[in-house]
Structures are given as structure tokens and as C-alpha cells.
Amino acid sequence: MSTIPPELLYTEDHEWIRVEGDVGTVGITDYAQHALGDITYVDLAQVGAEVAQGEEACAIESCKAASSVFAPVGGRIVEANAELADDPGRVNADCYGAGWLYKLAIASEAELSKLKTPADYEQIAAKD
């Protein structure tokens, strides 16, 4: 497993969020993309949709399985990574960079406190 980026927050479901001001960029962790295998399709998040913390925001399909991606915090989807429509393998190649899934306007900063630190997430990923 690659190094867990220290600037991100994580969910127990293997999503990450990078917070910049009141916008969060969301993706899946290296652990998740390895578990899924070669990603063949990303059902992009719907721009403008409101999602609650823990609610499905988009989905990913791989040669092994289909998996929901949940919102780490609630908010309004402001951008989906359109590059993934033609190249879903970006998630496998660079899950913390070019393979991000969507951006959302964060509704409540308080929800961020419910997420896992890199150290906490590392323990979760080690158990799975």
C-alpha cells in the first residue's frame, strides 16, 4: 500500500477528502482502488446534487465488483472529474491526484471532525 497522504481526512469506507477553504475534493484510497482491481467505469457524481454525510455520491465499477462511493461530508456537488469518463484507470494510476472523483461545497465543517486522521485510517486499512 502506498503512503497515506497526511493532509487528507478519511472515512472507514475508504474515501478521502482534501479540504481547501469550503470545498472538498473527494476520491477513494489506494487501499480501495487495489481492492477493486482495474477500474473500468466511473458513474460520475451529478453536479448540483445535494448529498448528506454517508450518502452515495457516485459509483465505480471494476473487473471485480461495483462499489458505491459515499460522501465524507454533506454538501453540494460542484464538479465531477469528467476525465474519468474516458479514462477510468486514472483512479488506479493516481487515486490521490488525477484520479479524484468529485468536488463538493462543504455544508458543515463540524462533520469534518467525524472523519479519520491519517494515523487512524492507517489502522483501519491494516485490519481490512
- Provide, for the chain, the percentages of residues in helix, strand and coil under a 3-state DSSP scheme, each rounded to the nearest 5: 25, 35, 40
**pLDDT tier for residue 53 given thresholds of 50, 70 and 90:** very high
Contact 93, 125 (CB under 8 A): no
Angstrom distance (rounded) from CA 71 to CA 52: 7
pTM score: 0.95
**Which domains does the chain show, CATH number per domain?**
9-107 (2.40.50.100)
Q: In this predicted model, what pLDDT tens digit does every residue of 76-97 receive, in sequence order?
A: 999 999 999 999 999 999 999 9
Instruction: Give pLDDT tens digits for 61-74.
Output: 999 999 999 999 99
d(CA 121, CA 91): 19
